Amino acid sequence: MGAGDPPTSARGRARRLGAALSCALVVGATLVGPSARATEAQYGRNGVVGFLHVFVVVMENRSEQSVMANPAMARLAARGGVATNYNAVAHPSLPNYLALAAGSTFGITSDCVTCYVSAPNLFSQLAGAHVSFDAYLEGAPGSCFLATYGGHDYASKHNPFRYFNNVRSSPALCSHLRPYGDLAATLSGPASQVPSFVWVTPTLCHDGHDCATAVAATWLTGFVNQVTASAAYKSGGLLIITWDEGYGSRGGGGQVATFVISQQTTPGTHVATPLNHYSLLATVEDNFGLSRLGHAASARNLSGFFKVKYVTTG
């Protein structure tokens, strides 16, 4: 699994989703609402469309208010939807990344670099379901980079997958930790060469940890433009942008901005439902038909952002 041809299940989802959206357009509905007869499990579940490609990028250390006060960030938000009541789950950074990757902070309350965890996670889930995936880590010097320190402006604490023992011990899983430089060529090609799930961790400057919001906004704008211009996004893609933690104790880690961009999200949408990092994980898992891990099991997902939730079959 990787950036090659998608597995049979992915090709099947592509055909089903394309047919479903065509059907919705023919009948002229609000594409199709939840009251219609549906086979939801074929396309996702719990109100999630079943996107063929999901992109997640995690930025750093900003409150929702400070993000939205930046004009460039506000322009990005206007391209999709904004979660106006979304909280991080802890302080400092690392437990939030673990929550996004596996549904728990595992009792970790620091940015430790050797506090490894034995638990299922998105990598092991996606591999078990034969769904293609890769994490692209800006500043990492190569694939399967597990060192505690090194690279260029890279922070291991912002790479949650390196903390899981089943990833560390498996060359197959570890190979999906890739340098960010590999992503541009992948995105420039056909949708079939792009993994179904893409995680992106920017450098400490580009994510805003060490640099100004304006610098982070410039990098993020370029990244969003690159993703939304790709065949993978245009063929049924979802891009979620969130920040690891905010300020204060609200929700455990402070209120943070979260943007949801897709062809099934009306630009300018605001969703006030209480959400958090477990909601993001639940959305990814619901999209690919995976079991929900840890606290994601009881979390609300991001389905409020999507125009199409269920698809009629007749």
Residue ranges and CATH numbers for the domains of the chain are 50-302 (3.40.720.10)
How much is the pLDDT for 2? 37
How much is the pLDDT for 309? 65
Strands 81-83 and 258-262: antiparallel
Sign of the CA dihedral with 18 first, then 263, 128, and 281 last: negative
How much is the pLDDT for 152? 97
Is this prediction's pTM over 0.85?
yes
How much is the pLDDT for 27? 30
Check: CB of residue 57 under 8 Å from CB of residue 100: no
- Based on the number of CB atoms within 10 Å of its own CB, is 244 exposed (0-12), middle (13-18) or buried (19 or more)? buried
**Mean pLDDT of all residues in 133-155:** 97
> CA 80, 19, 45, 258: dihedral to nearest 10 degrees?
-10
- How far, CA to CA in Å, does 282 sit from each of 16, 213, 300? 22, 28, 7
More confident residue, 49 or 100: 100
Per-residue pLDDT band for 44 (boundaries 50, 70, 90) equals: confident
What is the total residue count of the chain?
314
**Mean pLDDT of all residues in 291-307:** 97
- Based on the number of CB atoms within 10 Å of its own CB, is 92 exposed (0-12), middle (13-18) or buried (19 or more)? middle
Check: CB of residue 31 under 8 Å from CB of residue 20: no
Q: What is the mean pLDDT of the chain?
A: 88
The b/e string for 114-139 (b: 16+ C-beta within 10 A; e otherwise) is: eebbebbbbbbbbbebebbbbbbbbb
In the chain, % of residues over pLDDT 70? 84
